[in-house]
Amino acid sequence: MVGIGEVKRVTRTCAEIAYAVHVEQWGRGFATQLARLLLEVAFVDPAIARVQGTCDPRNLASAAVLRKAGLLYEGTMRHTAHLRDGWRDSAMHAVLRGEWSA
Ligand SMILES: CC(C)(COP(=O)(O)OP(=O)(O)OC[C@H]1O[C@@H](n2cnc3c(N)ncnc32)[C@H](O)[C@@H]1OP(=O)(O)O)[C@@H](O)C(=O)NCCC(=O)NCCS
């Protein structure tokens, strides 16, 4: 398996994408392809006006993937989760239907 992706509905008009790629396959563009595919899936529903994706601000590879897929950085939400190694922040990225081109 190369990776996994998910589209989930956050509100009636907003969906969120998430993905992971097997470590042996990193750096080959798979996450970017997957993120673009997930956007296509999310926007199939005409009610969806916004698709968002978040990452740990330290996860520069994931932020690059979101940007390459067309999502814009909107800001960082602080202390969104408490993990074993402490608090995690979330860098919010999103693309609006009118900005997205399949
Ligand atoms: C983040 C992740 C999905 C990236 O997968 P990938 O298939 O390697 O991603 P891609 O090859 O499509 O693109 C990676 C981009 O990040 C860039 N990148 C990688 N490491 C980087 C770093 N340390 N700093 C800046 N950019 C970096 C690459 O250069 C590439 O951009 P480019 O094509 O413009 O050169 C993968 O590392 C992963 O699954 N990590 C664990 C799970 C995870 O973090 N999921 C995302 C949760 S938000």
Give yes or no for a contact between 38 and 17, defined as CB atoms under 8 angstroms apart. yes
The pick from 6, 8, 65, 68 for probing ligand 1's pocket by mutation, whose C-beta has the most ligand atoms within 8 angstroms, reads 65
Rounded to whole angstroms, the Cα distance separating 25 from 3 reads 9
- Residue bearing tokens 């990193």: 26
Domains and their CATH numbers in the chain: 3-99 (3.40.630.30)
pTM: 0.95
How far does residue 26's CA lie from ligand 1's centre (Å)? 7
Q: What is the pLDDT along the chain (102 residues), one digit of tens a residue?
A: 899 999 999 999 999 999 999 999 999 999 999 999 999 999 999 999 999 999 999 999 999 999 999 999 999 999 999 999 999 999 999 999 999 987
Give yes or no for a contact between 19 and 6, defined as CB atoms under 8 angstroms apart. yes
How far does residue 52's CA lie from ligand 1's centre (Å)? 17
Tens of pLDDT, residue by residue over 22-49, are 999 999 999 999 999 999 999 999 999 9
Identify residue 19 by its one-letter amino acid code: Y
Rounded to whole angstroms, the Cα distance separating 68 from 99 reads 13
Average pLDDT over the chain, rounded to whole? Answer: 97
